[in-house]
Amino acid sequence: MRNNWKFLVVIALLSSAVTLAAYNLLGFNKRDVIFSESAPTPIGRLAALTGPTNGPGDFTYAAEAATPAVVHIKTTVTRTVRQQQIPDIFRDFFGDEFGRQQGPPRRQQGQASGSGVIISRDGYIVTNNHVVQDASEVEVIMTDKRSFKAKVIGTDPLTDLAVVKIESGNLPAITLGDSDALKLGEWVLAVGYPLDLESTVTAGIVSAKGRGIGILNQNMDRNDPKADTPIESFIQTDAAINPGNSGGALVNLRGELVGINSAIASATGYYSGYGFAVPVSLVKKVTADILKYGNVQRGYLGIIPIELDSKRAKEVGTNVGRGIYINEVVDNGAAKAAGLKKGDVIVKMEGQPVDSDAQMREIIGRRRPGDVINITVSRDGSERDFKVELRNRNGGRDVIKRSEAPSASLRSLGADFEELSAQDRQKLGITGGVRVKRIYDGKLSETDVEEGFIIVKANGKNIKTVKELQDILSGVKEGEGLMLIGMYPNSSRMYYYAVPV
């Protein structure tokens, strides 16, 4: 089923924003950022969701409350277009050096469009990461036609969220609702700027919750429990959304933000009845982290999980048919320290039944290192409760601020790398090296580096493994560069490339 979703899902580049804690103050650049959050009112019936004067099924109150806080985001994206390489058959004929006689990479500009949501009266806006990713300019247009240049404050590709800032005051900030209280079948509205149209409101119902559709995790390593894995636990809705809605608001009938519209499932790329939004419970945490710490603080449980159904339960030899089977516990991880072990089945977190990997990741994703989470596991036919203190990616309990986090990663280079085999090293007469396997976009695409280039030194240090390259890159501070020295197969010449980081 997951593979079918991957085939159907098209990232719709929708855009949206979110409001944070009720009068919750977050220190940011020696200023306080104030967000507005709804009161914890129980939501059990449809009538309870309506505004003060409208009746069930009347969307006017919610539309009027939410629309002023949803903005149009236009971006200018500058990308590098690489010249087509000369086919190997001609390179063999004319010689290796001639084969690399290509013109310099060309820079091309393009325009993109999405949506965003004002979350504070002084100009902070939440949108999707994919709306502002690689943007050289960001423009925010209000419903009253005012236009502002925006600055990207921070992004989180693992949840597809971003925060941008415009310099203005007394703005119409949205109120954050409670996505946990959403019920299946509940009415919701999608507000955004689809297909480059002006502000548009559509209505639908909540079709599902905790939906994982495989958009964000295509490059994740499922066998690394400490890797930065994407969090997908979308609210599914049938409110009509299209390209351009990305980053826009999903609101309840009180006009409160309950999700950020992010994707659609469609064979054509346009609305076909399935839309997906990041729940506001996750948006609150990610946005607060970006504003307070400069980067998202992630807690790690330290397990390799298997989502159970009747078939998988039989395969792993457990009598529990639903839950998260712990296939492995990581040394020095939070789970092992708390007493969890291989063969346990997580059935509850914070008293809430858990039966999907997406749901588990969302619950953990709302918390930071050092937070304690209550976990109930099934072990030997009985349930046991554990208090687990989450850890950071380094195994500690402290938050890692942006200044302490790696300033760059291999992902920023926009390429895939592989280590050389012993046979390749012997053939080339070198003791180590890392091959550039594929260049797709990013910093390397802005240079003359070609696929197949073998990096033997980075910033003056010998490179034998991909991890060594990552370690050097992580030590490069903002504004500094990366000097790569290496060679191409069938050529004894050494090449030097300066890569802006």
- For the beta carbon of residue 19, count every other beta carbon within 10 angstroms: 30
Instruction: For residue 60, give the H/E element and its range.
Output: helix 60-66
Rounded to whole angstroms, the Cα distance separating 282 from 285 reads: 5
Task: Write out pLDDT tens, residues 342-376.
Answer: 999 999 999 999 988 888 988 999 999 999 999 99
* Domains of the chain as residue ranges with CATH: 2-68+174-293 (2.40.10.10), 303-389 (2.30.42.10), 410-500 (2.30.42.10)
State the DSSP code for 491: -
pLDDT for residue 447 = 83
- Would you say residue 25 has pLDDT above 50? no
149: helix, strand or coil: strand
The DSSP code sequence of 92-123 is HHH-HHHHT--PPPEEEEEEEEEEEEE-STTS
Residue 29: band (very low, low, confident or very high) from pLDDT cuts 50, 70, 90? very low
Per the structure block, which two tokens stand in for 203? 């209505």
The C-alpha atoms of residue 454 and residue 440 are separated, in whole angstroms, by 17
Q: Please state the rounded mean pLDDT for residues 163-188.
A: 94
Residue 484 has pLDDT above 60, yes or no: yes
- Among residues 120, 246, 262, 378, the one annotated as catalytic is 246
- Model confidence at 425, pLDDT cuts 50, 70, 90, reads confident
How many other CB atoms sit within 10 Å of the CB of residue 446? 18
The SS3 of residue 163 is: strand
The pLDDT score that the predictor gives to residue 18 is: 26
User: In angstroms, how far apart are the furthest CA atoms of the chain?
Assistant: 80
d(CA 233, CA 349): 15
DSSP assignment letter at 170: S
Cα separation of 205 and 190, whole Å? 10
204-251 pLDDT tens trace: 999 999 887 766 655 444 444 444 677 888 999 999 999 999 999 999
Give DSSP secondary structure letters for 315-376: HHT-S--SSEEEEEE-TTSHHHHHT--TT-EEEEETTEE---HHHHHHHHHT--TT-EEEEE
Mean pLDDT (the chain, rounded): 80
Over residues 262-288, mean pLDDT: 88
Residue 94 has pLDDT above 80, yes or no: no
Average pLDDT over residues 175-200: 93
3-state secondary structure 266-315: CCCCCCCCCEEEEEHHHHHHHHHHHHHHCCCCCCECCEEEEECCHHHHHH
pLDDT for 220 equals 46
Average confidence (pLDDT) over 175-202: 93
Element (H, E) at 481: strand 481-487
- Which residue in the block uniquely carries the two structure tokens 């504003």? 291
Catalytic residue among 36, 120, 160, 178: 160
| 229 or 159, greater pLDDT | 159
* pLDDT computed for residue 106 by the predictor: 57
> Residue 327 above 90 pLDDT?
yes
Mean of pLDDT values over 412-417: 82
**Angstrom distance (rounded) from CA 243 to CA 192:** 10
Count of beta carbons in the 10 Å neighbourhood of residue 495: 17
Q: Is 272 left (phi over 0), alpha (psi -120 to 50) or beta?
A: alpha
Confirm whether 72 is a catalytic residue. no
Minimum mean pLDDT among 111-115, 296-300, 428-432, 474-478: which range? 474-478
- What's the pLDDT score for residue 105? 53
What pLDDT score does 414 carry? 80
Share of the chain above pLDDT 70, in %: 77
Res 89 pLDDT > 50? no
Indicate the pLDDT class of residue 101, thresholds 50, 70 and 90.
Answer: very low
Q: pTM for this structure?
A: 0.70
460: how many CB neighbours lie within 10 A of its CB?
A: 8
How many residues belong to the chain?
501
Active site includes 246? yes
pLDDT band at 271 (very low <50, low <70, confident <90, very high): confident
Question: pLDDT value at position 49?
Answer: 46
pLDDT classification of 409: cutoffs 50, 70, 90: low
Q: Catalytic residue at 160?
A: yes
Q: List pLDDT tens digits, range 371-391.
A: 999 999 999 999 999 999 999
Q: How many CB atoms lie within 10 A of CB 234?
A: 28
Report residue 424's pLDDT band, with 50, 70 and 90 as the boundaries.
Answer: confident
Q: Which of 15, 130, 156, 281 is catalytic?
A: 130
Which two tokens mark 148?
A: 């502002």
